[in-house]
Structure 1
Amino acid sequence: YRDLLIKVKFGESIEDLQTCRLLIKQYIPAGLFVDPYELASLRERNITEAVMVSENFNIEAPNYLSKESEVLIYARQDSQCIDCFQAFLPVHYRYHRPHSKDGETFIVVSNPDLLMYCDQEFPILKCWAQSKVAAPCTLKNKDICQWNNMKYKSVYKNVTLQVPVGLTIHTTLVCSVTLLITILCSTLILVAVFKYGHFPL
């Protein structure tokens, strides 16, 4: 698995924007998944403020039976940078079909949407904002706020992850070894049961 770390740095001081909140809407491609139970545990330990948006989400499904999902992350101000925010999200690889030649595949994680909500209007928001997006005001508050979808300059165009996958030429070998190990283990279990088991007459 990988930890996705998102950092946002404003081009100028945000001392006048202390009443503003930053929300990151991250799109998770089909080749990855976010574990909602893991997110709940991380929220309880105050490690991250992320929540799944997508419904009917199956973390066990392979890559080819999955679709893109969405996660909302309430960013926190960076204690080491007065005009910086950061957000943390753990992501996991899904199972991918084996390839005939290359033993790897690539997953592209698109840049997120950057949403900002302020208790009062600032002129600079009119320059940055490009549309309005409805989303929960806070993680613990189910009230809906109209967030500003902000324009920003990304350091990287997209994030590309390299994922190792199996090779189709190994299919016969893997299946044969798996079957032999299964038969061996089953035989050992049966021998142990009949040798040491106590059966009532």
Structure 2
Amino acid sequence: MGIQQFKLQVSLRLGIALYFFASISCCKHASTINEVGSCTSNLDDSNPSSSALHGVNEFITEAYFEKHASLIDSDFQRFLSKEIPLEFCEVLQDKLEPVPKLSISHRHLIGEGSHRRLSSSIRLEIQPGSKFTLPAHFCDAIVVEILPSGVFADPFELQHLLQRGVFTGAAVFGDTNLELPSVRSNRSIVEIHMDIGPNVLSGNNNGLEINIEVPLHARYAPLGEHEFSRVEFSPPDLFTRCSFEGKSHKQSCIFLSTNKSLELKAGAVVWDVPCGIKEHTGIVSVVTFFSAIVSALLIVFTAFHYSDTTGCNNLKQM
């Protein structure tokens, strides 16, 4: 009996220790998710393009959530049209005509199952013969993707893309809880920054296309009458942000480039996410219930059998 009590005490202490370490791991995992929600690549202060384009207020969407607690389409579109700092553009507009435009030429989903990538081909359009008179300029293409409630962006995969230098900046705003099902989750916004290079806007590379792939995961869809729940993606908002070398300091200019009325004609991107059927709820519940009972009985039987075997071995040794 003394040996069994000793084993029981050791098992309890090991269980408490494992629970303690598991709790610490969960806390670290949750903090990692929150930290990765807003990612930027490592910046080099010696690079003028990095210092000009990346600062405290790097992300456009961040300013919206500083004033609004949730994502509402009308409020967000009003914010994009009226509250984005475009005053610098008015000062430099005479030197920047014609302004480079970004447009979506093609969008589609890549992959199968619940893990896919939303691929967008962005076309940079510059009028032939246009030249910039400013001595230096550095530009980023900014893609603001509003995701529907049925999917979410994976912040860990975004971080890997940043580390590989695919993006210069990436952030996820809104509902970043990865475990919530579709019916309990809110929508989120992914903002992607990609460097388009200092030589792209020289007027010699008209028609350049940039491909951006956003890693997405499907949430658990609600029960319905059909086998699939349709998730539809709206066209993203596109911006061009350039930093120019002025006489006294660098000046930044943001251009809204999206023309959604033309992009919607090409057709929306649709993801059919598998979901449970209401008619099968009863059968699934019964099978799950009996499976749980059988599993519990097997665990109890195994525990008693192991206890009896251990007791017999102890008696033989005595």
Partner-residue secondary structure (3-state), 1:90: strand
1:13 is displaced (CA, Å) by: 7.7
Q: Residue 37 of structure 1 aligns with which residue?
A: 156
TM-score (norm: length of structure 2): 0.47
Equivalent of 2:254 in 116, 136, 147: 147
Distance change >3 Å, CA 6–CA 118, structure 1 → 2: same
CA contact (8 A) 1:27 1:70 kept: yes
Residue pairs, 1:1-201, within 5 angstroms: 1-12=115-126, 19-48=138-167, 49-54=169-174, 57-75=176-194, 83-100=208-225, 102-120=226-244, 147-152=254-259, 153-154=262-263, 156-196=266-306
Distance in 2, Cα, partners of 1:77 & 1:181 = 56
Distance 1:159 1:77, change over 3 A: same
Question: RMSD of the alignment, in Å?
Answer: 3.1
Q: Conserved in 1, the CA contact under 8 Å of 2:125 and 2:207?
A: no
Structure 1 residue 190: deviation in Å? 2.2
Query: 1:26–1:71: 8 Å Cα contact kept in structure 2?
Result: yes
- Whichever of the two has the greater Rg, that structure is 2
CA distance in 1, matches of 2:222, 2:304: 41
Secondary structure of 1:86 counterpart: strand
More helix by share: 2
User: Which deviations, in whole Å up to 9, do the C-alpha atoms of 1:107-140 show, x marking residues without a partner?
Assistant: 111110111112249xxxxxxxxxxxxxxxxxxx
Instruction: Give ranges in structure 2 of 5+ residues lacking alignment.
Output: 1-114, 198-205, 246-251
Q: CA deviation at 1:195?
A: 2.1
Bigger fraction of residues in strand: 1
Cα distance in 2 for residues equivalent to 1:10 and 1:47: 18
Which runs of no fewer than 5 residues in structure 1 stay unpaired? Answer: 122-144
Q: Secondary structure at the match of 1:119?
A: strand
Name the TM-score, length of structure 1 as normaliser: 0.72
| Greater displacement, 87-96 / 16-25 | 16-25
Larger displacement relative to structure 2 (24-33 or 34-43): 34-43
Partner Cα distance (2:121, 2:163) in 1: 22
Give how far 1:40 is off: 2.7
* CA distance in 1: counterparts of 2:233 and 2:144, whole angstroms: 12
Q: Residue 46 and residue 190 in structure 1: after superposition, are their counterparts in 2 closer, same or farther (change >3 A)?
A: farther
Amino acid of the residue matched to residue 85 of structure 1? I
- Cα deviation, residue 87, structure 1: 1.4
Aligned-pair distance for 1:39? Answer: 2.6
- Structure 1 residue 16: deviation in Å? 6.1
- Bigger relative contact order, structure 1 or 2, given CA contacts below 8 A and separation 6+? 1
